[in-house]
Structures are given as C-alpha cells and as structure tokens.
Structure 1
C-alpha cells in the first residue's frame, strides 16, 4: 500500500481500492476501531444515497425484454459434434447455454435501464457521482468530530470539494435548523443546511472547498438559514 491507511476509509467503503490495498486495509482495520467505524458510516451513507436514487423501470421495459428474449435463439444450430470424454467438473452443455442466454437477457435489461436512467438525465445521479468522486479521490482526507453526534468530513483538495456527513445531533426547537460553515483565512462560507434523512441522520452535504478553508463548523440557525453564524458552534472540525 502506497497511501497512509487512515486515508483509505472512503475508497475502501465503496470498493474503489486495488486487491492489494484492500487486503492491507483489512489488516489495518483489525487494530483501528476508528477506521472501522468510519467505514461503516460511509457504507451506510452510500447505501442511503443509492436507495434514494432508486427509480421505477421505464415503461415498456418488461415487454421489450420478453420480445428480445423470444426472438433470440437460446440454443446453437444443430451440427455434427465429436463426442469425447468430459471431466465430471465440467458443467453440462445445457447449463452453460442457459447461463449464456440469461447473461444476454441481463445485458439487454441493463442496457435499457442505463439508457433511460443515465447520470446526465438526473441531477440526483450527478450529485451521487460527485459525492463518490470525493470519497474515492486519491487525496481524500477523512476527519471525524469527537462530539456531539457523529459528524464526518471528507475533503479532496484536488477536486476542491468537501462532503459533510452528520448524525445524532441534539434535537432543535421548532423553527431552527443546523447549518454547516466552511471557515478559514478567506472568511466564513455557508455550505448549506442539514436536512433530516430519517431518525438520527441527515443527508450528506456536498460543497465547493476554497483553498484557504481549514475548519468546518455547525451552528443552530433559523430554519431558513443565516448569512453568517448567529450562535456559537455546536461542532467545530479542523481539516487535515
């Protein structure tokens, strides 16, 4: 492994590492509970993003698939063959052919679905791709806040992006919302409001990362957000 193990949590969580790196990182996890926790949280977030983007199949998909399967030959043409001894481990011809036919139909279905639900047709898909690009960036840096709740910040300076994953923050009074701030020599910039995504968790925030930013803060603000922080930070995460 050529990278510091602690920096691979994001890439490992979405299976974006080589076999050699994966094996080495698994060994690292045995003695690093912090990385294990980060991997679990990042995988949960990736799963939530994927579930949020689930889409109904396009109209006519079933009919198109069945029509294509019906007119696609499932067996090879009848030709003379030379019989020879076959190892007991070799699968029968019938199984192999049915496997090939199933693969062909599967490829057809995949092609139709991806044709109708490509990233360019859905802003949510583009958002997911952008989040993944940060989590799997070669220079991705992951920092976890000590308290309150479970807040993880992943930054990529090469992509100039930051992803904020927050959960289990203290409940707020009506009319209040948590707001994320990027703080540094260039000032204080709002990264957006944390939106609930179920009990004890919020949707990930993806924001541009100016070069002079060295901290991420979270404050309790009016529900519509504020231009600048109006209350003390409930969480302050220094960036690596």
Structure 2
C-alpha cells in the first residue's frame, strides 16, 4: 500500500488540485448522475451515490445542484446522458495507467485521450493491458494530527470493523478494506469519532515503478493533463518518484 500513499503525497507536494471550482463541480456532478442512474436516487440504499454526495458536500456544492443532478439522472428533468468507460495505457518508462471516465461522446473522448498520451511519451492501450496490475481496494486515510486515538487503538478499531490492513505512513494512517467492506468499516469508524482525510474505493497498484529524470517529468505532465480533462473522473498509475527527484523537477 505504500505506493498509494506515496502518490497521494506527490499530489499534495505538486499542489495538484482541480483548481477551478466549476471544473470540480462538473466532475462530481457527472459521478452523481452516473451513480443515481445505475443505482437509484436514494443514497441510503445506493452507496456509490452516497459517496458522490459526500464528495460534493466536501467541495461545498449547493444542495440544489446535487438534487437537480439526481433528478436529471432519474429522468425527471431532460438532460445529457453519460457513458462510463475505463481506458488503459502506458506512460513514460512503461508505467501502467488506468482511467475512469464519464462522457457524452465516446469518439471525441477517445481521440482527445489518445492525443494526451501520445504528446507526453505514452500510448493508449487495449482493454486489459494493465488492469491486471491493480487491485480494487477501499482506502481510508487519517491525518495523525487530527486523530484523537492512539495508533494502536485506531488499528484495533479498524481491524475489528473488518479492515484488511492498517499502516502508518509519514503524517497519516492508512486503512485498507475489500471494496464490499468499505462502507461498513467507514461507518464503524465514523461512529467512534474518526475523521478521514480521504476515503474512497480505488485501484491500488500491486507493484510500482520508480521514475527518474525525463521520464519522471513527462509522467507528471501526463498525469496532470489527464486529470484536467473534463471527462476523466479518476487517474490511477503505478509510478514512484523520490523526494529528491521531485525537487529536481521543481
């Protein structure tokens, strides 16, 4: 799991965020739309929708926007229909890259994503080319400074709730679960007053590839370009970049 934590730290150090609120709202709205359309509009029975709504509230999205998106998904308001897709490919240095996308135009999205890869030393691959390198996991992180519990107490709570693993990484604790146990573990810990810095079901690489020099620089550029694309909901990769190399890149 260290690869997951390391990449989260890289993101923070690079200061990479969905910089504009409008762009962030667009991504979250599409996720709410897709979740409601596939699993219904009740967040109490649709865990994916509940996660999307929680993300929207964390981003201070107005409640009216959330409800309007759900209504569109249920057909109560005419609107655009989005299609879910997963793309796989390779970045500089042969690292694996997976994308989760929501699009209203498959052909346009494919052309644009292919261009982003090729312009930055990567290439879009066939379905299944890198998927086997990742595992689907629930990952919950707790900032050590924000935790009122000791490391041992938090670990015992997490494991008793059904977590698969617990680790201490730099300034945070990381709890991992099977995807189907994620909601139960999260709810159990929230019930004990635990506050999460991040909580999501994600793809975690089984092994990582360390990048240096030009490959490292190009891979960061590729990652950021993919994240900035409106249709991309999430980017996963298996690369590592050392602190020293990050400082060289600037």
Superposition TM-score, scaled by structure 1 size: 0.20
Instruction: Report 1 or 2 for greater relative contact order, CA contacts < 8 Å, sequence distance ≥ 6.
Output: 2
Larger radius of gyration: 1
More helix by share: 2
Superposition TM-score, scaled by structure 2 size: 0.20
